[in-house]
Chain A
């Protein structure tokens, strides 16, 4: 009798091809200013930042079961952080963007401690209320421009083209960065802990998985990512108003993208972002009906095809572009 030699295998052929194609695509996109029109670059800035937001929501809801409807808090905090650090404190723009993300993460600490007292659907509304608190506080502070908002003045020190290219490269870095960070986090112990919690929170706890700490870390990572994306979004838009920056629509878009692409997969938000933009470009002329359709698609996908478009692909082909699971291969 020969003993079976078992080897832990993660990468597969599709994942290796996927990684190569993905890296090539990132390289081509990084050279965007050389080949793309300014209008294309502007669209891509929205695409990359929305991908970042969606991937962060996916990490929260799809992997840690933290169904937040309050991630707009961090988009808004990132935007106002950027204004504060760049205009009031005079930091260089890129430093201000990072500082805004750090500030958003710090504010996420007390936010998480409060919101984690609620579960499931009540956690969802609780995070929404806290986002509303931040919006109302900002609206009531005259120094932040009150309800009518402020314009980023620091950006005027750059000429238009330089600022566009800078924002574009930052947006690409944020979009690719959130995908990479999610992937790397899920491959580590954190990924195993999250899987254990998903399969049974109490049994995970009893086996020594630090449930609270794991969720807390994921919440802070998502807060950092969303604040960073928020700062880059408003580096592009320049004009910040509390109603828009703290709008629940940010989270609604994250949810649509993740649900349509496939919740709980890293590939899902990437596909969802592409589908979302194609739909938006084609249907935006239909006004409110477009949002009715998006809502209906989210409802139908959740009930009928819970793992979204990528789930359909993965079920048929067995592909995984971001192998976070461990496969056992037997060698005789």
Chain B
């Protein structure tokens, strides 16, 4: 029963990782841009929520109403004002350098503003309440809510991509930016909309992370790495792959940690490397590897 519990907790943790992976996957899918500041932006969202809670003393989940649109706006401006300029010419170097520089800037700005202290978002009773299934197995309401939210975000994104004008413009621009601009789409605007949606999901992920555990200005890169591993394990270009990748990573980490406390994160890395070695298209990937 202990092992069942470990796997269940891993699946729930995986929901959070899938949430983190969504935005990374979307930005790569639409414009082949890998945003190395992805994790740091989620921590920015968590600190924004913290700052709001400090002022108005509400349950941090209410701050989603402010932080999500705000980060979406930040995403739009970031793409139009900076990241679009790194995509000219198809050279892979500028996007990596600029987003890595951005990551360093954000970490150190957060450090100056909020100090290196560990912070947490207190969601009150929701945080510790759980559904007891048996003596050894309990499912926390909040981790369950995280997993449900991740599925909802992924399904919502899938619907946007397949059913809406915006989704069509994403797919068209992704296939061929020049042809898309010939039929009246502005790739700069389309890319900015994709980044806006990506950062909106990043904001949700950062907030749920902040409720689930403590955070500091320097943990962004680890979040980026987990998101990336979920994307690669699941397979590029597949919404359900992203969910599967997150779940596999979560289970690998909790199983590893159960074997020996120091091996949790390492076990996740090893599963990622195994996928890279033996199934580079990922579990559900359809395309050639990245």
A interface residues (Cβ-Cβ under 8 A, vs B): 61-62, 65, 67, 69, 114, 117-122, 124-126, 128-130, 132-133, 136-137, 139-140, 248, 252, 255, 259, 263, 287-289, 291-292, 294-296, 298-299, 302-303, 306
By secondary structure, the A interface counts as: helix
Known: A136-B265, A140-B263, A291-B104. A125 touches B276 (CB 8 A): no
- B255-280 residues at the A interface, CB under 8 angstroms: 260, 262-263, 265-266, 269-270, 272-273, 276-277, 280
Q: List 17 A-B contacts (CB under 8 A).
A: A69-B36, A69-B96, A117-B276, A119-B290, A120-B32, A121-B34, A121-B92, A121-B99, A122-B228, A124-B34, A125-B228, A128-B225, A263-B93, A295-B104, A298-B104, A299-B98, A302-B97
| A255 and B100 contact, CB distance less than 8 A | yes
**Using a Cβ cutoff of 8 Å, how many contacts connect chains A and B?**
139
Alpha-carbon separation in the docked complex, A65 to B95 (Å):
13
| B109 and A124 contact, CB distance less than 8 A | no
| A133 and B270 contact, CB distance less than 8 A | yes
B155 in contact (CB, < 8 A): no
A288-B111, A298-B100 given; 6 more Cβ-contact pairs under 8 Å: A133-B270, A139-B262, A291-B105, A295-B105, A299-B101, A303-B94
Alpha-carbon separation in the docked complex, A133 to B229 (Å):
13
Residues of the B chain whose Cβ atoms lie less than 8 Å from the Cβ of A292: 104-105, 108-109, 112
| A296 and B266 contact, CB distance less than 8 A | no
Alpha-carbon separation in the docked complex, A281 to B92 (Å):
32
Which 10 pairs across A and B sit closest by C-beta, in order of nearness? A121-B34, A295-B104, A120-B92, A295-B105, A288-B108, A298-B101, A299-B101, A122-B290, A136-B266, A295-B101
Alpha-carbon separation in the docked complex, A239 to B221 (Å):
26
Alpha-carbon separation in the docked complex, A263 to B98 (Å):
14
Alpha-carbon separation in the docked complex, A295 to B100 (Å):
8
Alpha-carbon separation in the docked complex, A200 to B262 (Å):
44
Closest to B90 in A: A120
* A44 nearest CB across to chain B (Å): 26
Residues of the A chain whose Cβ atoms lie less than 8 Å from the Cβ of B101: 255, 295-296, 298-299, 302
| A114 and B277 contact, CB distance less than 8 A | yes
| A302 and B98 contact, CB distance less than 8 A | yes
B152 in contact (CB, < 8 A): no
B52 in contact (CB, < 8 A): no
The residue from A61, A114, A117, A129 contacting B225, defined by CB atoms under 8 A apart: A129
Known: A124-B36, A132-B269, A295-B104. A259 touches B97 (CB 8 A): yes
Alpha-carbon separation in the docked complex, A288 to B262 (Å):
30
Closest to B103 in A: A295
Known: A125-B224, A136-B266, A291-B104. A306 touches B94 (CB 8 A): yes
* B30 nearest CB across to chain A (Å): 14
Residues of the B chain whose Cβ atoms lie less than 8 Å from the Cβ of A69: 36, 96, 100
Residues of the B chain whose Cβ atoms lie less than 8 Å from the Cβ of A132: 225, 265, 269
Alpha-carbon separation in the docked complex, A294 to B100 (Å):
11
- B3-59 residues at the A interface, CB under 8 angstroms: 28, 32-36
